[in-house]
Structure 1
Amino acid sequence: MVRITMVHIDLNLLRALDVLLEEGSVGAAADRLHLSQPAMSRTLARIRRATGDEILVRSGRGMVTTPYAESIRAEVHALVHRAQSLLHRDADVDLRTIARTYTLQCNDALAEFLAPRLARILPAEAPRLRLRFLAEPASTSDDLRRGHVDLRVSSDPAESAEMQSSTIAHDRLVAAVRADHPRLDALGSPAGFAGLGHVIVSRRGRLHDLVDDVLEAAGLRRHVLLTAPTVAIAMQIVAAGDLVVCVPGGLLAAQLASYGLASRPLPVEVPAVPVVLAWHQRHARDPAHRWLRAHVRRLILEQTSAA
């Protein structure tokens, strides 16, 4: 059991302890809590006095948690979230008075779609909220659990019981080429489509995706020339040559037009791409976070329904 008492430690210090245990670094914890490193070091000193334990100790060029710190990690984490839930009040919340920064993680196309629309809403409804958009990582991360990301918009469901998620829409893939592509009619048949040169959008650099699985099941194989880490780069490549890229057609309708691209339905049946909101359970009853989720959900639903 945690031997810390509220006589020795307040909730802010408990939150700092939680972050220090997660990060294992004074510098990283300072970044998470928007503090200077000297201020974080002073906070760690207060925690050491309150607990009678070093919590973090030097090991080579870094720091490691003490056995006691490891033993209380899970309970401290649970206490922080329980306290946030108990002290949180939904009644009489005026979003215009809440000063907070939320970090949204999504691909570049979704950021291009959401950011300007949310920027128009914020001044009137939540003028003191700030939004920070982050790119999707190249590999699976626990940014939601660690508090580095507050809301993720992707095709991936929640990874663990700590996370909550909601599939809010499905978007059909389309084949996009430059409007004056010499073989635009090839998109009308599976064989013609497979015979074109293809670009795949993959932040991990994969040369094979679901479209390839469907084509191979039909006895076809497409020629993937290259991958691009972002939708914007893929569209630039396609706009400048004779390649084709498969992208969600509803959410990306405006971007397709801005790059001068024509789009056609895929000539093979590929499952629609789910659009999933995911967040940590700590945000479940946060009024400002619920406000943000509601607007993101509405914007995406309106766009995909209109497509």
Structure 2
Amino acid sequence: MQLDLNLLAALDALLEEGSVTAAAERLHVTAPAMSRSLGRIRRTTGDQILVRTGRTMTPTPYAIAVREQVHELLQQVRAVLAPSRELDLATLDRTFTLRWHDSLVALAGPALLAAVRERAPGVRLRFLAESHTDTPELRRGEVDLEANAGRPGAPDVRAEEVARTRHVVVVRRGHPLTRGRTLTAARYAAAEHITVSRRGKLDNAVDEALARLGLTRHVVAAAPTEAAAFAFVRASDLLVTAPEAITRAADLASLPLPLELPPARVYLSWHQRYDTDLAHAWLRDLARDALAAAGNGGAER
């Protein structure tokens, strides 16, 4: 059977008004058009729906029995086809999953959670650790927002640059490089380095910049996160090159990087299915503000 949803609206109006003329006025159609709709409803249901008693129309027992159900169904259809464009944060009950670089969670996560709880106490945030391999959870709808240095290449994934920062050299306080002469590219290359890479890479854009100057560096280890690298740096004479904003709470010394290196960028990414999702758009705005206010947090290399 092929159903016409327009008949549901006509049936609701007929049952509410108890009159073909009144139902036609309610739906802004002509009385003959409403009469034709009533005829189709009668053929579809096998019931008269409204019968004439004198000068009025009386609903049948079947019509009386389904009146509330018809009205509820019509409201559900309208909610699906014309969703509300208002967002009630006070009653919003939803869990958002965010896969962010670990340093971004540390830098911007607390501010984001505080802003969310202040406005929408029923919302929960799940921060997931980044994997050492690329994962499709964003496209599958299992992750709501990603934030890292990678700009997604998939056409159905949105990406917006929300922050950027320069790189600096991070060493322990009292490190020999913090005393005396200016840190040159040659002195920088001669030191022992630790890299940051969730994939365990021992080289990155720093090595390319040094190679252009005819220099190479000695990398002795790779750490999966900046926090782990900072622990090695704090306990040794190793140095790490990292985005400046990350060093603020690290209790370490930072020096200008004596190389030309592109800034570390942060991209906020989401799947296009959420473009018109009001709650998701609200969270994106808060995340964007938190990441910017954090002073351009760390990024994957």
The TM-score, its normalising length taken from structure 2, stands at 0.69
Hey, what's the Cα distance between the residues in 1 that align with 2:279 and 2:146? 15
The 1:104/1:87 distance shift into structure 2, 3 A limit, reads farther
Question: How has the CA–CA distance of structure 1 residues 203 and 90 changed in structure 2, closer, same or farther, with 3 Å as cutoff?
Answer: farther
Q: 2:293 aligns with which of 282, 295, 302?
A: 302
Is 1:248 aligned to residue 248 of structure 2?
A: no
> Which string of whole-angstrom CA distances, capped at 9 and with x for unpartnered residues, describes residues 134-192 of structure 1?
11111122110112211000111122111111011211111100111122246721001
Deviation at 1:124, TM superposition (A): 1.5
Distance 1:243 1:172 in 2: 20
* 8 Å Cα contact 1:196/1:243 also seen in 2: yes
1:78 is aligned to none
Counterpart Cα distance in 1 of 2:135 and 2:273: 18
Aligned match of 1:286: 277
1:220 maps to which residue? 215
Residues 1:158 and 1:89: Cα distance change in structure 2 (over 3 Å): farther
Q: 1:92 is matched with which residue?
A: 86
Asked if structure 2 preserves the Cα contact closer than 8 Å seen for 1:187 and 1:264, the reply is no
Superposition pairs for residues 113-124 of structure 1, below 5 Å? Answer: 113-124=107-118
* Partner amino acid, structure 2, of 1:234: A
Q: 1:90 to 1:265 in 2, by over 3 A?
A: farther
2:146 equivalent in structure 1? 152
Give the corresponding residue for 1:15. Answer: none
Deviation at 1:255, TM superposition (A): 2.8
User: Residues of 2 paired with 1:305 and 1:279: CA distance?
Assistant: 19
Name the counterpart of 2:173. 179
Contact 1:88/1:286 (CA < 8 Å) preserved in 2? no
**TM-score, normalising length: structure 1:** 0.67
The number of residue pairs the alignment matches comes to: 222
Aligned residue type for 1:282: R
CA distance in 2, matches of 1:207, 1:89: 51
CA contact (8 A) 1:187 1:266 kept: no
The structure whose Rg is larger is 2
Secondary structure at the counterpart of residue 106 of structure 2: helix
CA separation of 1:168 and 1:128: change in aligned 2, threshold 3 A: same
- Offset of 1:264 from its aligned partner? 1.4
CA–CA separation in structure 2 for the residues paired with 1:113 and 1:262: 18
Q: Which residue of 1 aligns with 2:188?
A: 193
Local SS of the residue matching 2:208: helix
Contact 2:167 2:264 in 1 (8 A): yes
Kindly provide the CA deviation profile for residues 36-75 of structure 1, in whole angstroms up to 9, marking residues without a partner as x: xxxxxxxxxxxxxxxxxxxxxxxxxxxxxxxxxxxxxxxx
Per-residue CA deviation, residues 258-299 of structure 1 (Å, 9 max, x unaligned), is xx2011121111000111011011111112211211112112
Give the CA deviation at 1:305: 7.1
- Partner residue in 2 for 1:112: 106
Matching residue's letter, 1:300:
L
CA distance, structure 2, for counterparts of residue 125 and residue 150 of structure 1 = 19
CA contact under 8 A between 1:102 and 1:131: conserved in structure 2?
yes
CA 1:131–1:155: 2 relative to 1, 3 Å: same
Corresponding residue SS for 2:176: coil
Gaps of 5+ in 2: 4-76
Are positions 1:209 and 2:200 aligned together? no
CA distance in structure 2 between the partners assigned to 1:86 and 1:156 by the alignment = 35
Identity %: 38
Contact 2:148 2:266 (C-alpha < 8 Å) held by counterparts: yes
Distance change (3 Å), C-alpha of 1:192 and 1:162? same
SS in 2 for 1:188: coil
Distance 1:275 1:305 in 2: 7
Note the 1:66-105 alignment, pairs <5 A.
Answer: 87=81, 89=83, 91-105=85-99
Deviation at residue 88 of structure 1 after TM alignment: 7.0
1:8-19 matches, within 5 Å, as none
State the superposition RMSD in angstroms.
2.5
| Superimposed CA distance per residue, residues 2-26 of structure 1 (whole angstroms, 9 cap, x where no aligned partner) | xxx9xxxxxxxxxxxxxxxxxxxxx
